[in-house]
Amino acid sequence: MLINCDLHSHSGYAGGVGQISLDDLEAAMDKKGIDVFGTGDCLHPLWSRFLKDNVVEAEDGLFSKKGNKARFMLQTEVIFTAAVGSGRKSVHTVLLFPSFESVDRTCQLLENIGVKNTIGRPFIKCADNFDVGNKLSKILDIDDKIEAIPAHVMTPQGVYGSNNPIDKMKDFYGSATDRIKAVETGLSADPEILSLIPELDDYALVSNSDAHSAALNRMGREFTTVETTSFSYSNIIDAIRKNKIARTAEFNPTEGRFFLTGHRVGKKGHGDAYCVFSPKYTPKDNKCPICGKKLTVGVLERALQLKDIQGGTREFGELSPSTKDFVNMVPLVEVIAYSAGVTSVVSAKVVALYDKIVGAFGNEVKIWFEKDYVVRKRLESVDATDNVIDNIIKVKNGNFSFSPAGFDGTYGKLVVGKKEDVFEVNVISGKASGQKRVF
Ligand SMILES: [Zn+2]
Ligand SMILES: [Zn+2]
251 and 372 together in one domain = no
Residue 8 domain flag: yes
Ligand 1: centre distance to CA 86 (Å):
22
Ligand 2: centre distance to CA 267 (Å):
7
Ligand 2: centre distance to CA 406 (Å):
16
Ligand 2: centre distance to CA 162 (Å):
16
Ligand 1: centre distance to CA 38 (Å):
13
Q: Are 117 and 108 in contact (CB under 8 A)?
A: no
Ligand nearest to the CA of 428: 2
Extended beta strands in 333-389, E state: none
Residue 222 domain flag: yes
Q: List the one residue out of 181, 173, 94 whose CA is nearest residue 126.
A: 173
Give me the domain span that covers residue 357. 330-398
Ligand nearest to the CA of 153: 1
144 and 234 together in one domain = yes
Q: Are 175 and 321 in contact (CB under 8 A)?
A: no
Q: CA distances (Å), 177 to each of 159, 168, 170, 307, in order?
A: 12, 10, 6, 20
Residue 393 domain flag: yes
Q: Are 414 and 275 in contact (CB under 8 A)?
A: no
Q: CA distances (Å), 90 to each of 84, 240, 371, 383, in order?
A: 10, 25, 43, 49
Ligand nearest to the CA of 275: 2
178 and 70 together in one domain = yes
Structure confidence at residue 163 (pLDDT): 81
Query: What's the CA gap between 22 and 66, in Å, rounded?
Result: 12
Residue 437 domain flag: no
Ligand nearest to the CA of 294: 2
Ligand 2: centre distance to CA 69 (Å):
49
Final residue in a domain of this structure, among 229, 255, 281: 255
Query: What's the CA gap between 422 and 406, in Å, rounded?
Result: 11
Ligand 2: centre distance to CA 291 (Å):
4
Ligand nearest to the CA of 120: 1
Ligand nearest to the CA of 150: 1
Burial (Cβ within 10 Å: 0-12, 13-18, ≥19) of residue 196: buried
21 and 136 together in one domain = yes
Ligand 1: centre distance to CA 152 (Å):
7
86 and 193 together in one domain = yes
Residue 301 domain flag: no
| CATH code for the domain in which residue 237 is found | 3.20.20.140
ipTM of the complex: 0.90
Ligand 1: centre distance to CA 290 (Å):
29
Side-chain-facing half-sphere of 260: CA atoms under 13 Å: 31
239 and 365 together in one domain = no
Structure confidence at residue 369 (pLDDT): 85
Ligand 1: centre distance to CA 258 (Å):
13
Residue 412 domain flag: no
Ligand nearest to the CA of 186: 1
222 and 84 together in one domain = yes
Final residue in a domain of this structure, among 216, 237, 255: 255
Ligand 2: centre distance to CA 290 (Å):
5
Ligand 1: centre distance to CA 94 (Å):
8
75 and 173 together in one domain = yes
335 and 250 together in one domain = no
pLDDT tens-digit profile, the chain (439 residues) = 999 999 999 988 776 556 788 999 999 999 999 999 999 999 999 999 999 999 999 999 999 999 999 999 999 999 999 999 778 999 999 999 999 999 999 999 999 999 988 788 899 999 999 999 999 999 999 999 999 999 999 988 999 988 888 999 999 999 999 999 999 999 889 999 999 999 999 999 999 999 888 888 889 999 999 999 999 999 999 999 999 999 999 888 888 889 999 999 999 999 899 999 999 999 999 999 999 999 999 999 999 999 999 999 999 999 999 999 998 888 999 999 999 888 888 889 999 999 999 999 999 999 988 899 999 999 999 989 999 999 999 998 888 988 888 999 998 888 998 888 899 999 998 654 433 333 3
- Taking a 5 Å cut-off on Cβ, the residues next to ion ligand 1 are 92, 151
Ligand nearest to the CA of 293: 2
Amino acid at 228: T
343 and 239 together in one domain = no
Ligand 2: centre distance to CA 293 (Å):
6
Count helices and strands in the chain by DSSP H and E runs: 13, 18
247 and 335 together in one domain = no
Structure confidence at residue 18 (pLDDT): 61
Ligand nearest to the CA of 121: 1
Tally of structural domains, the chain: 2
Final residue in a domain of this structure, among 197, 226, 255: 255
Ligand 1: centre distance to CA 389 (Å):
35
Amino acid at 161: G
Query: What's the CA gap between 323 and 255, in Å, rounded?
Result: 21
